[in-house]
Chains A and B, each alone.
Chain A
Amino acid sequence: MSSLKPFWLVLCLLISASALAQQSSLYTYQDLSHFYYARQKDSLKKAWDCPDVFKEKAAQKKYKEIWDGRTDRVMGYIADDAYVHDKEVGDYIEGVVNQLVAGNRQLLPIPPLVMLDRDPSVNAYAVGGNFLAVNLGLVAWCRTREELAFTLAHELSHNILKHWETSAYETAKWLSSDEYKQSVNAVLDSKYERLTRLRKVMETYTFSRTRHQRYHESDADSLAIILMRNSHFAFSPSFFQRLDSADMEYRQPLQHPLKDYFTVYQLPFDDSWTQKRSHGLSTRAYNFSESSNLEDSLKTHPDCLVRYEKTKQWATPNPTFTRVPRTIHDIASRMLIWNMYNSTNVTACLYRILLIKDQGNTDPWYDFMVSNVFTALLFADHKLSRFNAIGVMPKEYISKDYYGLQTMLEQMPRESLTAWTQSLQGQGFWKTLPQPEKELKPLFYAIALDPEDSDKNRKQAAKTFFAENGNSMYCEFAHVFEK
């Protein structure tokens, strides 16, 4: 019996972790940026008043255009709900930022404004003006608090070193320079090869800018390591090795045959759906890398391996790393999946769900999302948009399993898709879901399975959901049908 004790302990921990994951709530409808940051928008606009840096009127005008362009762009992102506030994830990021600020008071006298971008790519960005945005994709990807800290420190370094401001200054200077005007006028005067000449004018500038930007990235890496050290964060250059494969999410293979992920729901699976039947060019061995690759001179960032080599010497000896809490990962990945679903990116959304299932996650929320994916696909099929909902990706960017999954979603007959959607909407996991998820079910039925296929019914179902769940994050989805 005693030998079973560790097993029970692990099991209990797993169950409690799973229960915790299920309990952790996601953001509310009012946490979307156009609601939540409505006030900050005005103060940000005031704070980002363009300074006078040029004596020449034309250059200052150009500088102001660039400066105001940044403000408009960020305001646009806020208005379009590109950002979201989530208390738990936000607090976690803020904790890391605060530690960096506390350790570097001289360089960071005022804490930055940090926003959580809903984008799934592994990225963060600084646009000057003490503003920082962290993508949900990055939060879900970072394994340790230190990895997140390094990314944030790197972006803060861009702000400290005024990289954006310098870049804007140089752009304005160049665009208002006689050299630029002359070269553009020379294009106008030329009879032949105007596009090539114009491109050369642009490339001369772009090359100079990207080359500087690459220096900027190295500078930001170096300063980030100092900020980390001052704040007692351990630094490991192996982060760059991992970063090198950050965009390979969809190249990651699944642990089980594709069929197994669906037969657990008793869904009849036909292996032939995953076999590509096309004789098109996508099935051929093409390789246009020589004629289509991005020239090295146009890359904005140095290679991750170069960055690894450069920062190797600054590695913290005997480092200890703190894992990003499971709840943060869970919230981030659920938000990410929901946001991908909301933007009708169904294959990527479903593949992420399957990858999470591979980690042993049994949260019924993911079953709920599997059901939603097929509902969305059926709805897209009704609306002649299945192809766009699937977002077919070329085979060289994805794993064999992803390819199989997108082929399956593409080739699955409409009748089977309807049967799967019906079956999934009748599965037992719905009973274990929280109230807002349960109350979405009539809307999902109205969207894809209602024999009347009526916009009126969809609108009514969305209205009913709104009335009962005005704070739910799903209101954003329901709102589309309510309109």
Chain B
Amino acid sequence: MKNTRIGLTLLGLVLFGASAVQAQTKVFKEVAEGISSQFEVIVQDDKLVGYLGFTQLEQASADSFNYRISIMDENLNDIGTVNFRERKLNLVGVTFEQDVLCLAYLKTNFQDVQYHKRQFKEVVANAKSSLFTQFISLDGKVKATSDVNLMITPKAPTYGNLIGASLKHGIQLRNIPGVGFACFVGDEQRNMIVAYDASGKQLWKKDIADKADEFGLQTSKNDINLLEKQNNSSDPESGYMLASFNAQNGSPYPKVAPKDKKGNDLKILNIGNDPVTGELVLSGMIIDPRRCPHRGTGKGLHHGIYCGVFSIDIKGHTRSQITTNYAYWNDESNPAFSKRGYVREAHAYSDVQSSFRDYQGNTWFAATGIHPRFRTGGMITGALLFWFLLIPPAVEVGLGFYTYNARDVELLKLDPKGNLTFASSIPTISGLARAVQSVGFSLYETSFYYMLTNPETKTDYLVVTDPKNVSIYNVEQNKIARTIPTKEHKNTFKVLPAKEGYYMVSEYNQKEKTTRLSIEAL
């Protein structure tokens, strides 16, 4: 009969037996040390469709390595493996289209090579690097590969002893529905977009002449969109520009420099697709033109750095195909908000971190509530200090009249007609520090949040994590669907996005050094 246990026993003993001899132990240890793995999600149309394990097995020659790709479905079941040999690869993204997996890597002949001062010049002279894309069909065959040369100068290590390689703008990979794949990358000389069809054939390659601090790639229907954030020294939150290209031939469409009808700059928080139409949507904050040196702080919000929110639907490339939706609070037309954006019902300002479009056409803005509080005690103490210790009042004024406490997640809803309402507040624990005016939000916010969708029920959820709980909030029903106490799990617990309509629970067992994964319904 099938002698499984004996088989396992013997295998175990073979390994155990071998490890008993010191020299052999060294072999196993060294071989294991050469193996490195990374785990990536496979994404299509911004949805998770599977997982991929990428393992560098060993160095195969002076300039090549053996690799293994393990492909898993969305339930973490193995569906196959692919082995191949290549130069040093750094996997940066995986996407899927028309039953083909596209993997994008940064390929170099110098990354992670041991640094020797004498030989470094030679390494620099012979440096080669490229954007390497690999196209794998669902029968485990590498159908095509592509190399696009990049200009990267090897970097001597600042710590450790391995040579580094970094791009000016990291590789971004997206699938183009019904077409293939798009890749953006920026090296020391140029920024470019490369488009491929689903068989891996390069459709076109285009250099992006614009200089920008950041780029964001998004594909929608038959377009490839590149959101550029240009440097604007007078206002670091503005300077956005949208460039779009025809996915099939790369021909450019007129650029869009988002501004509202009054000419105010827009801060773009989200570039995504409408879940119903698949068309491009931009959303974010309308920037108040008055200059404010306190951006990113409680005082800045108190000062009124934003005058409202917006969403822009880009259905085509003519002016009539762009629908805008602006909602202002600085004109005092909305009783739910003060002139400076104070949400009356929540008793807080909104530090909007993210926005998304729902199935009903509403645009939601998720924000950390910033609660101002007059420093009564501080002021009295300040007066007393002045009286007794002669500390100048300027010091006290410098500290500000208010403290700002970050607490709760607020949801604002902008409906398709342009009505902005305060939808609800999801309770989270208060920030530990009652920060003074000049301290940035990021230092005292205690929660973070992201959006998940159940396409079947057309319901959106906001996953809010604070030090005590993970709350899964049903946006449409305006209620918490599930609260998971994180303290029970001793800080080793994470709730991550998973396949559509599900989230992944990851729990690390420190004692056993294992991670338990479970995919649970929203």
A residues whose Cβ falls under 8 Å from a Cβ of B: 62, 65-66, 69-70, 73, 121, 123-127, 138, 151, 154-155, 158, 164, 167, 171-172, 175, 180-181, 184-185, 187-188, 191-196, 198, 202, 205-206, 209, 213, 277-282, 284-288, 290-292, 300-301, 381, 384-388, 392-394, 410-411, 413-414
Contacts and interface: CB of A to CB of B under 8 A. Distances in A.
Contacts of B1: 123-125, 138, 151, 154-155
A66 B17 contact: yes
A171 B80 contact: no
B324 interface: no
Contact of A286 (B6, B21, B138, B520): B138
Interface stretch (B46-54, B296-304, B375-383, B393-401): B46-54
B77 interface: yes
B140 interface: yes
B518 A194 contact: no
Interface of B: 1-7, 9-14, 16-18, 20-21, 23-24, 26-28, 30-31, 34-35, 42, 44, 47-50, 57-62, 66, 71-75, 77-83, 96, 99, 138-141, 455-456, 484, 499-501, 505, 516, 518-521
Q: Tell me the dominant secondary structure on chain B's binding face.
A: mixed
Contacts of B138: 281, 284-288
B139 A286 contact: yes
B42 A281 contact: yes
B74 A281 contact: yes
Contact of B9 (A69, A285, A288): A69
Nearest to B72: A281
A158 to B, nearest CB: 8
A191 B64 CA distance: 12
A193 B66 contact: yes
Nearest to B489: A384
14 contacts: A66-B10, A69-B9, A171-B10, A187-B31, A192-B60, A193-B58, A195-B31, A195-B57, A284-B99, A286-B71, A286-B80, A290-B139, A300-B7, A388-B516
A135 to B, nearest CB: 9
Contacts of A285: 99, 138
Contacts of B72: 281
A187 B27 contact: yes
A388 B79 contact: no
A123 B4 contact: yes
A280 B9 contact: no
A158 B71 CA distance: 39
A291 B75 contact: no
B29 to A, nearest CB: 10
Nearest to A167: B10
Given A281-B50, A386-B518, A410-B521, A198 B9 contact: no
Contacts of A69: 9, 12-13, 16
B10 A288 contact: no
Q: Which 6 pairs show the lowest CB-CB distances between chains A and B?
A: A288-B80, A280-B74, A291-B140, A282-B73, A286-B138, A281-B50
A188 B1 CA distance: 38
Nearest to A62: B17
Given A195-B35, A195-B66, A280-B74, A292 B80 contact: yes
A181 B26 CA distance: 12
B58 A194 contact: yes
A369 to B, nearest CB: 24
A151 to B, nearest CB: 6
A290 B35 CA distance: 24
Contacts of A171: 10, 13-14, 17
A192 B30 contact: no
B6 A164 contact: yes
Nearest to A247: B2
A193 B59 CA distance: 6
B520 A175 contact: no
Contact of B81 (A125, A188, A195, A291): A291
Contacts of A121: 2, 4
A239 B44 CA distance: 48
Contact of A301 (B2, B73, B74): B2
Contacts of B81: 288, 291-292
A387 B60 contact: no
Given A180-B18, A280-B499, A288-B81, 9 more contacts: A62-B20, A121-B4, A125-B4, A213-B3, A278-B499, A279-B47, A282-B77, A286-B139, A288-B139
Contacts of A301: 2-3
Nearest to A291: B140
B199 to A, nearest CB: 17
A279 B12 contact: no
A242 to B, nearest CB: 13
Contact of A387 (B61, B139, B520): B520
Contacts of A181: 21, 23-24
Contacts of B35: 195
A411 B24 contact: no
Which residue, of B71, B73, B455, B456, has the highest number of chain A Cβ atoms within 10 A?
Answer: B73
Given A155-B1, A292-B140, A127 B6 contact: yes
Nearest to A67: B13
Contact of B82 (A167, A185, A291, A388): A291
Contact of A194 (B30, B500, B519): B30
A413 B50 CA distance: 23
B27 A188 contact: yes
A121 B74 CA distance: 27
A270 to B, nearest CB: 12
A384 to B, nearest CB: 5
A66 B24 CA distance: 18
Nearest to B48: A280
Contacts of A154: 1
Which of B5, B12, B24, B501 has the most C-beta atoms of chain A within 10 angstroms of its own C-beta? Answer: B5
